Amino acid sequence: MLGFLVGEAFRDLRRAGRVAVSAVVLITLSLGALGGFWLVSSNIGRAVAKWHDQVRIVVYLKREPSACDAAALLERVRAMPGVAGVVFIGKADALRSLKQVLGKDAGVVDQLPANPLPASLEVTPSATAATPDGARDLLTRLAVLPETDEVAGGGDWVERLAHWQRLLATIGLGVGAVLAVAAILTVTTATTLILHARRHETEIMRLVGASELTIRLPVLLQGMLQGLAGAVLALGALVITHSVVA
Amino acid sequence: MIELHRVSKVYSVGPVKVPALREVSFRINKGEFVVLTGPSGAGKTTLLRLLYRDDLPSEGDVEVLGANLVGLGRSQVAALRRSIGVVFQDSKLLPVRTVYENVAFVLRVLGTPRREITARAFDALRAVGLSARAQAYPAQLSQGEAQRAALARAIVRRPPLLLADEPTGNLDEAMAAEIVAVLKDIGAGGTTIVLATHQARLAATLRRRTLTLGGGRVMKDEG
């Protein structure tokens, strides 16, 4: 019996022809769009979360403090809200770092008459300060320190990325929703056509005393088959795209 | 087998009430071959529709195969129809299926085991003399053949009751005679048959019990 009903569902799909194909294509597109945007968005989200941990704020000092003053300054900064950690980088440390960065060209640094690099504090914001508002507040607090010459860094670019991630997710939902509505309308049209094409079968089935389940199941099955075909195609396309990109 | 008690049917066309049957009462016994005749609009089709519970009476009781059809649930209606074969003026064959597939379709729909379907379908086709045309499509059949295929579909379940609504209405005399002969054969096997026809000559040649309808009433019950 089930074999007969499944056979009837396939017969209906063949009857619906191009409309059924359109329905499957639209289901594939809507699920593919949703899945594609979700994949991109979640990957960016993961990157944003990772890069949030690497956000640093650099406070350039007017002059290099003595060891005693530097320790006191570190204490004051550490006590500020939104600060997870702080490291003092003296002028000599900064020069060493620059030499490391320059590598084989590090010799040019020795030509300088004096060390031009300022001493600085490298501040790691806490999780609460690693947001646009939190980072802005922390920057303001650090900028008003009497020792501060200039404050740089922050997570603006990370926030911009997070903004793009949210935008992508929203666009994905929007495009997916529009395509989903189109898919629903197409499936409805295909089902209506099938119901129209099946009207003689339905009439005979009712006339000979078929159960309601037997009458309705072929139509339900053809709808399910369209959905399944669309989902499998969308999943296949996403898997292939992912493997190619990866 | 069939008993109608003061059955009336009124159709509402907007605010207008159109009576199709007025206080019709009769009884048909098991194995009888009854001809229902009368001019167009006499109420024959309405009466048959009440018998296979395609419609409900406005008043009165309809009893078929021991069941009062007023107040039956959907599943009970389906169960009742499994015991009734129906044939219409247009054969209502499924155009995209062969004659064999049309007949077998009914058995498949009702969950008949696959091994029985072929044998029973060909039994029915042999009974109407159409086994040689089993693989033909309805468009390839003459009207008489199409009507015989519809008869095969109606009897393939071996129902105890067969209702035929103007099965010869579209046929010439020779083809109509073929159908009548097939119906007589089916009736001889013990099936109760109710044949509705507006062809008074056909009714007369059948020499069976004849209920004549007129204006929604039973005018005569002869034979």
Task: List the CATH number of the domain containing B13.
Answer: 3.40.50.300
Per the domain annotation, does B201 fall within a domain? yes
Q: Looking at beta carbons, which residues of chain B come within 8 Å of A202?
A: none
Identify which of B75, B86, B94 has the shortest CB distance to residue A207: B86
Percent of chain A beyond pLDDT 90?
15
CA atoms within 13 A on the CB side of A183: 24
Tell me which of A198, A202, A207 to substitute to probe the interface with B (most B C-beta atoms closer than 10 Å).
A207
pLDDT of A165 over the 80 cut = no
Q: Render A176-204 in DSSP notation, one character per residue.
A: HHHHHHHHHHHHHHHHHHHHHHTHHHHHH
**CB–CB of B81 and A200 under 8 A?**
no
Asked which of A80-84, A187-191, A210-214, B176-180 is least confident by mean pLDDT, the reply is: A187-191
From B75's Cα to the closest Cα of chain A, the distance in A is: 7
**CB–CB of B111 and A1 under 8 A?**
yes
pLDDT of A100 over the 80 cut = yes
Q: Does CATH place domain A56-154 in 3.30.70.3040?
A: yes
**CB–CB of A4 and B108 under 8 A?**
yes
How far CA A51 is from CA of A38, A46, A156, B208, in Å, comes to 20, 9, 11, 95
How many distinct structural domains can be found in chain B?
A: 1
Query: Which range has highest mean pLDDT (A88-92, A156-160, A172-176)?
Result: A88-92
Single out the residue of B12, B90, B2, B6 nearest to residue B52, CA to CA: B2
pLDDT tens digits, one per residue of B192-205 = 999 999 888 888 88
Asked which of A104-113, A201-210, B79-88, B177-186 is least confident by mean pLDDT, the reply is: A104-113
**CB–CB of B110 and A206 under 8 A?**
no
Residue pair B186/B156 in contact (Cβ under 8 Å)? The answer is: no
pLDDT of A34 over the 90 cut = no
Residue B222, pLDDT score: 85
Segments in chain B below pLDDT 50: none
Per the domain annotation, does B113 fall within a domain? no
Structure tokens at B159: 């129902």
Per the domain annotation, does B108 fall within a domain? no
**CB–CB of A210 and B105 under 8 A?**
no
Residue pair B217/B24 in contact (Cβ under 8 Å)? The answer is: yes
Asked which of A90-104, A121-135, B205-219 is least confident by mean pLDDT, the reply is: A121-135
**CB–CB of A204 and B94 under 8 A?**
yes
Per the domain annotation, does B15 fall within a domain? yes
**CB–CB of B106 and A4 under 8 A?**
no
* DSSP 8-state class, residue A25: H
Per the domain annotation, does B28 fall within a domain? yes
What are A's interface residues with B at a Cβ cutoff of 8 A?
Answer: 1, 4, 15, 200-201, 203-212, 214
CB atoms within 10 A of CB A147: 20
Residue B45, pLDDT score: 93
Residue A52, pLDDT score: 67
**CB–CB of A207 and B110 under 8 A?**
no
Report CA B210 to chain centroid distance, whole Å.
15
Q: What's the Rg (C-alpha) of chain A? A: 32
Residue B115, pLDDT score: 87
The mean pLDDT of A122-133, rounded to a whole number, is 77
Residue B76, pLDDT score: 92
Per the domain annotation, does B154 fall within a domain? no
From A196's Cα to the closest Cα of chain B, the distance in A is: 13
SS3 B6: strand
Single out the residue of B102, B166, B99 nearest to residue B134, CA to CA: B99
pLDDT tens digits, one per residue of A218-235 = 888 888 888 899 899 999
Asked which of A4-8, A132-136, B20-24 is least confident by mean pLDDT, the reply is: A132-136
pLDDT of A187 over the 80 cut = no
Residue B123, pLDDT score: 93
Residue pair B110/A240 in contact (Cβ under 8 Å)? The answer is: no
Per the domain annotation, does B122 fall within a domain? no
Q: Looking at beta carbons, which residues of chain B come within 8 Å of A208?
A: 81-82, 106, 109-110, 157
Q: Domain residues for B11?
A: 2-92+159-222
CA distance B150 to B88: 8
pLDDT tens digits, one per residue of B150-165 = 999 999 999 999 999 9
Residue A163, pLDDT score: 76
